């Protein structure tokens, strides 16, 4: 167990979770950072582990709730008792490249990957994996109850900066300090347990990575705009669709086609796109704000025509604009609830059974997480060890494109990865 280097002050011992935090299931979000054996680095593997441990302990003095505990998986607050986070060091006789195609559960401490946790479990865990080639993979698991992907990004970036500069008080580290919102004490808020909108579980999941170069993404943007000419969606789409918007639409359109192969009866589905709202609130919040500051954009698909690139992109842009200048996170969440309330229970239940979640970590700092021995060769924070359909979008390590890690049923993936339209913009890794 790695504990904070300094004890948490008494007045900070109770960290109340916001209502949005309490709506999130207590599951672990996974992150893998792959580091090759750089010859220019003089540190031995043991030296690197000492740096990682010491800087993690120092960072936990700032991110003190991470070292605490939930009394139960549905508790409304964290007991910041400094019990610490799980730390595991492992050795593997294989080469690092063998583990760069998919996130493997064995690389994570105690297999903490997208699984519900028992009470009193550590809220975060780290495993350092040494490979025969001298490379290493640092994996991080963080409970979704205490934060979203942006929180995970901020935490790891802060931790790596402390490792490089040796102190939490260094002028380069201070701007990365966490920002906490004081939430009022509440009773347990169990809305997430009764929600029918949950990720679609696969019986036989498989994950593939698809790479979309920037030049192809520009072609895709041009195609979307060209298709929108003369349609009611043109005025919205012409507002410079982003790479993420058009790629999300392409992936979802391909998923809809792959899961409805020649079917006489079209099966309705729903696209769920979580969006970071820190910079959309009034006033804006720092990106280092800890918690689940997200709203879900929902695109319903009752008929095949509703999965067209134009309609999906325009709906995403429309809902994104509606989130601008929201007064507080609760109002942003209410917009999502309003969309769900407009659907009939039976309609929503049928769509939820075929929900597809698409998260974007593009423009994050994860590709530049440097503990003192260079940037990672590859970063993966995927559904690879999950049984749920979905996709995670990330910038390629060289910055020339986006990687889409897609998880589907085995038979659906076979059709997805052979879709000619999708392949015209991508290459399979």
Question: Do 196-428 and 10-192 fall under one CATH topology?
Answer: yes
Q: Could you report the per-residue pLDDT of 390-410, keeping only the tens digit for each?
A: 899 999 988 899 999 898 999
- For residue 391, give the nearest of 240, 200, 193 by alpha carbon: 200
Question: What is the C-alpha R_g of the chain?
Answer: 22
Q: What's the pLDDT score for residue 350? A: 67
**Is the pLDDT score of 251 beyond 90?**
yes
Mean pLDDT, to the nearest integer, of 293-310?
Answer: 88
pLDDT in tens, 47-71: 999 999 999 999 999 999 999 999 8
Cβ atoms of 152 and 66 closer than 8 Å:
no
pLDDT at residue 192, rounded to an integer: 43
Rounded to an integer, what distance in angstroms lies between the CA atom of residue 176 and that of residue 353?
A: 40
**Catalytic residue of the set 21, 144, 148, 158:** 144
- Token pair 């804006």 is at which residue? 284
Q: Is the pLDDT of residue 341 over 70?
A: no
Name 413's Cβ contacts closer than 8 Å, sequence gap at least 6.
206, 208, 258, 406
Closest C-alpha to 417, from 244, 216, 409: 409
Confidence at residue 207, expressed as pLDDT on a 0 to 100 scale:
85
Q: Residue 327 — very low, low, confident or very high, per pLDDT cuts 50/70/90?
A: confident
List the CATH code of the domain at 196-428: 3.30.559.10
Q: What is the pLDDT of residues 420-429, one digit of tens each?
A: 999 999 876 5
pLDDT-based confidence at 231, cuts 50/70/90?
Answer: low
Question: Which carries the bigger pLDDT value, residue 385 or residue 227?
Answer: 227
Q: What confidence tier does 347 reach under pLDDT thresholds 50, 70, 90?
A: low
The pLDDT of residue 134 is 86
Give the predicted TM-score (pTM) of the model. 0.89
Query: Worst-scoring range by mean pLDDT, 63-72, 181-190, 191-200, 201-210?
Result: 191-200
- Three-state SS for 389? coil
- Which of 79, 219, 370, 419 is catalytic? The answer is 370
Per CATH, the number for 10-192 is 3.30.559.10
Percent of the chain with pLDDT over 90: 50
Q: Average pLDDT over the chain, rounded to whole?
A: 85
Q: Residue 55's pLDDT is what?
A: 98
**Per-residue model confidence (pLDDT) at position 7:** 97
Q: Give the per-residue pLDDT at 378.
A: 86
Q: Which range is least confidently modeled, 93-97, 325-329, 345-349, 370-374? A: 345-349
Domain ranges across the chain = 10-192, 196-428
pLDDT, residue 59, reads 98
Comparing 47 with 38, which gets the higher pLDDT? 47
On the question of pLDDT at 105 being above 70, the answer is no
Range in 9-18, 171-180, 272-281, 350-359 with the lowest mean pLDDT: 350-359
Is 370 one of the catalytic residues?
yes
In this predicted structure, what is the pLDDT of residue 110? 76
The whole-angstrom separation of Cα 120 and Cα 52 is: 24
Of 51, 34, 32, nearest to 142 by C-alpha is 32
């Amino acid at each position: 167990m790695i504990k904070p280097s300094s004890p948490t002050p008494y007045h900070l011992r109770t960290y109340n979770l916001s209502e949005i935090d309490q709506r999130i299931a207590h599951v672990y979000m996974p992150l893998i950072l792959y580091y090759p054996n750089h010859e220019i680095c003089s540190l031995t593997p043991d030296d690197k582990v000492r740096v990682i441990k010491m800087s993690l302990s120092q960072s936990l003095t700032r991110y003190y709730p991470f070292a605490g505990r939930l009394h139960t998986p549905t508790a409304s607050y964290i007991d910041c008792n400094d019990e610490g986070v799980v730390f595991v060091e492992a050795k593997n006789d294989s080469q690092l490249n063998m583990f760069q195609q998919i996130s493997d559960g064995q690389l994570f401490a105690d297999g903490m990957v997208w699984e519900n946790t028992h009470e009193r479990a550590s809220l975060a865990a780290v495993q350092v994996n040494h490979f025969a080639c001298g490379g290493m993979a640092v994996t991080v698991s963080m409970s979704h109850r205490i934060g979203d992907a942006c929180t995970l990004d901020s935490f790891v970036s802060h931790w790596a900066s402390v490792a490089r500069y040796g102190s939490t008080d260094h002028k380069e580290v201070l701007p990365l300090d966490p920002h906490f919102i004081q939430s009022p004490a509440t009773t347990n808020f169990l809305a997430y347990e009764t929600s029918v909108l949950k990720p679609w579980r696969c019986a036989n999941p498989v994950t593939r990575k698809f790479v979309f170069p920037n030049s192809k993404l520009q072609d895709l943007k041009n195609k979307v705009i060209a298709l929108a000419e003369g349609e009611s969606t043109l005025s919205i789409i012409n507002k410079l669709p982003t790479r993420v918007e058009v790629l999300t639409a392409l992936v979802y359109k391909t998923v809809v086609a792959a899961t409805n192969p020649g079917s006489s009866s079209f099966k309705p589905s729903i696209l769920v796109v979580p969006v970071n709202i820190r910079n959309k609130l009034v006033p804006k919040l720092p990106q280092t704000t800890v918690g689940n500051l997200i709203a879900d954009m929902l695109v319903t698909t009752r008929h095949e025509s509703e999965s067209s690139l134009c309609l999906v992109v325009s709906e995403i842009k429309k809902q994104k604009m509606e989130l601008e200048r929201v007064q507080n996170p609760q109002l942003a969440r209410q917009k999502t609830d309003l969309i769900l309330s407009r659907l009939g229970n039976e309609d929503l239940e049928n769509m939820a059974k075929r929900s597809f979640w698409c998260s974007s970590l593009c423009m994050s700092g994860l590709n530049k997480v440097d503990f003192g021995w260079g940037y990672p060769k590859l970063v993966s924070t995927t559904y690879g060890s999950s049984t749920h359909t979905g996709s995670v979008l990330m910038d390629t390590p060289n910055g020339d494109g986006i990687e889409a890690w897609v998880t589907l049923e085995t038979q659906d993936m076979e059709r997805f990865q052979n879709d000619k339209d999708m392949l015209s913009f991508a290459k399979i890794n």
